Structure 1
Amino acid sequence: MNGKQREKKIVRLLMLCALILFGAVWWASHGVQRAETSYVMEQRQAAELLTRCFSAVRGYKEELHIPMSQEDYHQTGMIGPYYTGITTTLGAIEAKRTTAWPDMGALCVRLLYEAGVRPGDRVAAGFSGSFPAMNLAVMAACQSMKVEVIPISSVGASTYGATDPELTFPEMLHRLVQDGVLTTDSAAVTLGGDNDTGDEMLPEQKMEILERLEQAGLVIFQEPKFLNNLEQRQEIYERKGPIQCFVSVGGNVTSMGVGERGIALGQGVLDPRSAMPVTDQSGLVERYLGRGIPVVHLLNIKQLTAEYGLPYDPVQWPAPGSSAVYYRIQYPLLPIVLGLLAAAGILYLCRHVRIQRSNMWHRELPPTS
């Protein structure tokens, strides 16, 4: 066999290898199956519990004569006014509506399982008022998983969040516990916003809210110094022992850190191995990652839903229990294994042919003097 014949043979073998791999991929793609997660029962329980939470909050708003927002297309009770005296920053209405969906409870169960949390574990949670529905989704997930959750909740909220001054998020959670819907109340409450002390809030409304929180018997702390605030929060979280995960919902400075550091943290489950160096400007997300503790970060809702195949601000939600969050994609192993083995064999044959050619070339070289 001459050199040109060998080259043609190698090309034919490589084309055959490509065809085999293409066929294996086609075979595998046509054998894809959706299988329920191993914790689907907890997911369904969390979604049902979150539905009860939404219904109860709607009732609280009716009692307080708080009108339902016109932006709350699904009438969940989780959408607040655009701007009030406790609004701290801007927020996207599409993201707020997306979180006000019962399947967010199922998503939080999945995120916690993917972070390594199991029944009996202890989870710390930092809640701003910006995403009240997602806060309640975390609470519903932990309760359904029989996980101990230690929430520190804040009053301040971005636009369309828990911005009703008459019913802040800590008060929502407190009433849900009083009514027996949820079992765990805030371990502590802060005002949130600038310096975590609500510096930008209207003073009159701030004082009224503080009085109501005190009358409810909630623990309030106001610590404007960033590092001291973090130390107090960690002391509350770890009072009963080490935590297995930290959950951050919204953009509270104590979770995100000072400046723009929090933007690059990512969404969903954060791996401690990807942690950035901790500095004096680092928030609790970075600090817990730096200690090797997994974090569930919930802020960029559009990115989060895209990663889990969920709709973003749809006109109509999927039927209960049918969304992608309840399922895992399973690919058949047989075509993948056979395709890789066949491709490896052909590549080995190509190498054998090329070595033969190299040996032939050396034999044909004239002897040197």
Structure 2
Amino acid sequence: MSTKPLTQNKHQRTRFQVMYWRPKQLSRGWLLFTMMFAVGGLILVEKCTRSMTPENVETMTSAARKAREAMSWIGQVRAQQGHRVIDKLDPQGSHLIGPSMSMVTSKLGAIESKQTSINPNFAAVVVRWLSEAGVKPGDQIAIGASGSWPGLNIAVYAAAETMKLRPTIVLSAASSQYGANSPEMMWLDMERHLAERDIIPFRAAAASFGGLYDHASGMTDDTKAMLADAIDRNAITRIPGQTLRDSIRERMVVYGDKPYAAYINVGGGSASIGGTAGQACLPAGLHQQISDSQAMPDCVAARMIERGIPVINMADAKGIASQYAMPIAPPELPQVGEASLFGKLTYRRSLAAIMMVAIGGVLSITVAPGRCLRFARRLRMKEQNETPSQVEWMV
């Protein structure tokens, strides 16, 4: 008996078939609802956030406003003196960016970092670090600053004024590039103008030449004369000595044995922070101890930590700005509050969890409607078949 091939049987199904899956009993309306529900849940979670603000946000805001006022006043004074802004160097027109070179310039500087430091919100950073160090209103603090970072100096002074602290300040007259390195308007002059305007009343107790070994080593006699004149015209005591060790010792004499709550360094002065080597051991931020005491050179910051005094290092403006979501080299003066440390928005985890479960349930119905329907029927039958544990017979 012969059989016909499978392909010749018209009524025989082919060996392979292509099947398209489509969920049963699901309309386009349901699919649209699923999509809209998921998108709506995402929007709800994104919109229903909550703001996390630190406890001392008012103090940080006040300090930033004080810093903005101080920066504005120095800019006005410089403009009245006839100072012309170079747009390429100082796009903000702040008058706080000095020239690339002058008779009182001590070393090279990074223009982008100096531009970044012209931001009043750095004062809020100082308030935060002081608070983390346990500093309270009325406490005494020590400050060691150079003329290289007038913007950061203003931030430190504004924070101390807002927190009602009592600082003892020792300065270095010289400045690196793009700082307060104009001979006619150095940081010592800026400090005096702020005090005379009663914006920030603090005045330095003493000042050194700054530069190499903190005594302008290698600089010309004319430069040293300019530095001496800047110290004298602002009625500040000049730190004596010929060596770096002398300068460190004399600074500690000025600071004395007061119970300081913190020591703040601004810049990279050899006597204050130990120069480049000291910056490597104590990078920008708050420090309770030295990470590598053997590599740390002798300086005021090292001696303060030995006395158990926390050290705050205000340096690396770009690094600090990146840490707290502040702009790098902003073309305009940032507004007060434009930084993450003033507070940030966070998602409501409970709401996100609820929406995830709800969206998961809707998607389950969409993907496997039959299985979900059978599961629902089982639950209904189980509820109907359940017998109460205690039955009252009616007679």
Q: TM-score, normalised by structure 2?
A: 0.71
Q: Does 1:120 align with 2:138?
A: yes
Corresponding residue for 1:284?
300
Q: 1:280 offset after TM fit, Å?
A: 8.7
Corresponding residue for 2:155?
137
Q: Is the 8 A contact 2:194 2:200 kept in 1?
A: yes
Q: 1:299 offset after TM fit, Å?
A: 1.5
Corresponding residue for 1:206?
224
Q: 1:29 to 1:127 in 2, by over 3 A?
A: farther
Question: 2:305 aligns to what SS in structure 1?
Answer: helix
Q: Does 1:313 align with 2:321?
A: no
Question: 1:247 aligns to what SS in structure 2?
Answer: strand
One-letter amino acid of the counterpart of residue 188, structure 1? A
Calculate the aligned-residue CA RMSD, in Å: 2.8
Question: 1:206 aligns to what SS in structure 2?
Answer: helix
Question: 2:182 aligns to what SS in structure 1?
Answer: coil
One-letter amino acid of the counterpart of residue 150, structure 1? T
Question: 2:199 aligns to what SS in structure 1?
Answer: coil
Q: 1:242 to 1:184 in 2, by over 3 A?
A: same
Q: Is the 8 A contact 1:87 1:201 kept in 2?
A: no
Question: After superposition, what is the alpha-carbon deviation per residue over 1:158-186, rounded to whole angstroms, capped at 9, x for unaligned?
Answer: 11011101111111102211221111101
Question: 2:52 aligns to what SS in structure 1?
Answer: strand
Question: 1:260 aligns to what SS in structure 2?
Answer: helix
Q: 1:52 to 1:281 in 2, by over 3 A?
A: same
Question: After superposition, what is the alpha-carbon deviation per residue over 1:284-331, rounded to whole angstroms, capped at 9, x for unaligned?
Answer: 222222332211111112222222222222335554324212126768
How do residues 149-298 of structure 1 correspond to structure 2 at under 5 angstroms?
149-238=167-256, 241-257=258-274, 260-272=277-289, 274-277=290-293, 281-298=297-314
Aligned counterpart for 2:54 among listed residues 23, 26, 37:
37
Q: Is the 8 A contact 2:104 2:226 kept in 1?
A: no
Q: 1:212 to 1:96 in 2, by over 3 A?
A: closer
Q: Is the 8 A contact 2:63 2:124 kept in 1?
A: yes
Deviates more, 1:105-114 or 1:282-291: 282-291
The separation in 1 between residues aligned to 2:288 and 2:348, in whole angstroms, is 28
Question: 1:189 aligns to what SS in structure 2?
Answer: strand
Corresponding residue for 1:102?
120
Question: After superposition, what is the alpha-carbon deviation per residue over 1:121-163, rounded to whole angstroms, capped at 9, x for unaligned?
Answer: 1111111111011011100000001111111111111110111
Corresponding residue for 1:323?
339
Q: 1:31 offset after TM fit, Å?
A: 8.4
One-letter amino acid of the counterpart of residue 92, structure 1? A
The separation in 2 between residues aligned to 1:287 and 1:172, in whole angstroms, is 29
One-letter amino acid of the counterpart of residue 266, structure 1? P
Q: 1:279 to 1:315 in 2, by over 3 A?
A: closer
Question: 2:168 aligns to what SS in structure 1?
Answer: strand
Q: 1:278 to 1:124 in 2, by over 3 A?
A: farther
Q: 1:32 to 1:234 in 2, by over 3 A?
A: farther
The separation in 2 between residues aligned to 1:271 and 1:330, in whole angstroms, is 30
Q: Is the 8 A contact 2:137 2:165 kept in 1?
A: yes
Would you tell me which structure has more helix in proportion to its own residues?
1
Q: 1:279 to 1:230 in 2, by over 3 A?
A: farther
Question: 1:89 aligns to what SS in structure 2?
Answer: coil
Q: 1:259 offset after TM fit, Å?
A: 6.1
The separation in 2 between residues aligned to 1:147 and 1:319, in whole angstroms, is 25
Aligned counterpart for 1:75 among listed residues 69, 93, 116:
93
One-letter amino acid of the counterpart of residue 304, structure 2? Y
Q: Is the 8 A contact 1:275 1:289 kept in 2?
A: no
The separation in 1 between residues aligned to 2:345 and 2:253, in whole angstroms, is 41
Q: Is the 8 A contact 1:88 1:200 kept in 2?
A: no
Question: 2:181 aligns to what SS in structure 1?
Answer: coil
The separation in 1 between residues aligned to 2:104 and 2:72, in whole angstroms, is 24
Q: Is the 8 A contact 2:277 2:296 kept in 1?
A: no
The separation in 2 between residues aligned to 1:194 and 1:91, in whole angstroms, is 15
The separation in 1 between residues aligned to 2:221 and 2:83, in whole angstroms, is 21
Percent of counterpart pairs with the same letter? Answer: 26
The separation in 2 between residues aligned to 1:322 and 1:280, in whole angstroms, is 35
One-letter amino acid of the counterpart of residue 163, structure 2? M
Listed as ranges, the gaps of 5+ residues in structure 2 are 1-44, 352-395
The separation in 2 between residues aligned to 1:222 and 1:305, in whole angstroms, is 36
Corresponding residue for 1:90?
108
Q: Is the 8 A contact 1:197 1:222 kept in 2?
A: no
Corresponding residue for 2:363?
none
Q: 1:32 offset after TM fit, Å?
A: 6.6
One-letter amino acid of the counterpart of residue 222, structure 1? P
